[in-house]
Amino acid sequence: MTAAREIPSVTLTGADYSVYTRIARIALDLKGVRFRFEPLDVFAEGGTGKARLAGHPFGKIPVLRHGDLTLFETLAITRYIDQAFDGPPLEPAEPAGRARMNQIISVVDTAVYPVLVWGLHVPRSEGREPEPETIAEGRKVLSVLEDLAGAPWICGSTPSLADAYLAATMDYVLDSAAGDRLSRDAPRLWDWWQRAEALMHES
């Protein structure tokens, strides 16, 4: 009798507040991958050292472990999740759609996260007033996303990694000096969020 092949376990290490941990969790959920979540607060005492021990040489999160494989950096983690597991594809098949997905992911990395999350949400959460020019920059970022937004999902008919990246930031975007008028100023983006918000609840 042949022994059943053991399925390697999947573990994600990170923090609930972390945008990039959220992205990885959403990708795992979209693929239907069962995984164990290990909470790790890198801002707590000794947190960066624990993150290095978990597998991230720079002391950051998230870290994904699948059997003997350890991955850090969200780009690598999410592409691996999409390519290594069964489930719906998280990248459009056609080159133009994939380019649009990568474009939106890049906007999240280079504009949404530094401007809207760190530049506008963090000051509000700490009771500080953000710089007026940062508010204007944040509104410009949302305007660009409004122009890029597809339907019903951000890149078309099915969820992609772009939805995971953007959805992971939206709680912070809405709680910012630029996001409080989203339903009025960016109706397509707001319509997308009415569907994409469920991705956060699932993760």
Domain boundaries, the chain: 10-84, 95-198
pTM of the model: 0.94
**Mean pLDDT (10-residue bins), the chain, 203 residues:** 60 98 98 97 97 98 97 98 97 96 98 97 93 96 96 95 98 94 94 94 62
Say which amino acid occupies 1.
M
Q: Of the candidates 41, 82, 56, 68, which has an alpha carbon nearest to the alpha carbon of residue 164?
A: 82
Type and span of the H or E element at 51: helix 47-54
Question: Sign (positive/negative) of CA torsion 167, 92, 12, 3?
Answer: positive
Q: Of the candidates 132, 142, 150, 202, which has an alpha carbon nearest to the alpha carbon of residue 173?
A: 142
- What are 196's two structure tokens? 């994409």
- For 95-198, the fitting CATH number among 3.40.50.720, 1.20.1050.10, 3.30.230.70, 3.30.300.30 is 1.20.1050.10
pLDDT at res. 4:
44
- For 10-84, the fitting CATH number among 3.30.43.10, 3.40.30.10, 3.20.20.70, 2.40.40.20 is 3.40.30.10
pLDDT at res. 1:
40
- What are 178's two structure tokens? 């630029």
pLDDT at res. 3:
43
pLDDT at res. 148:
96
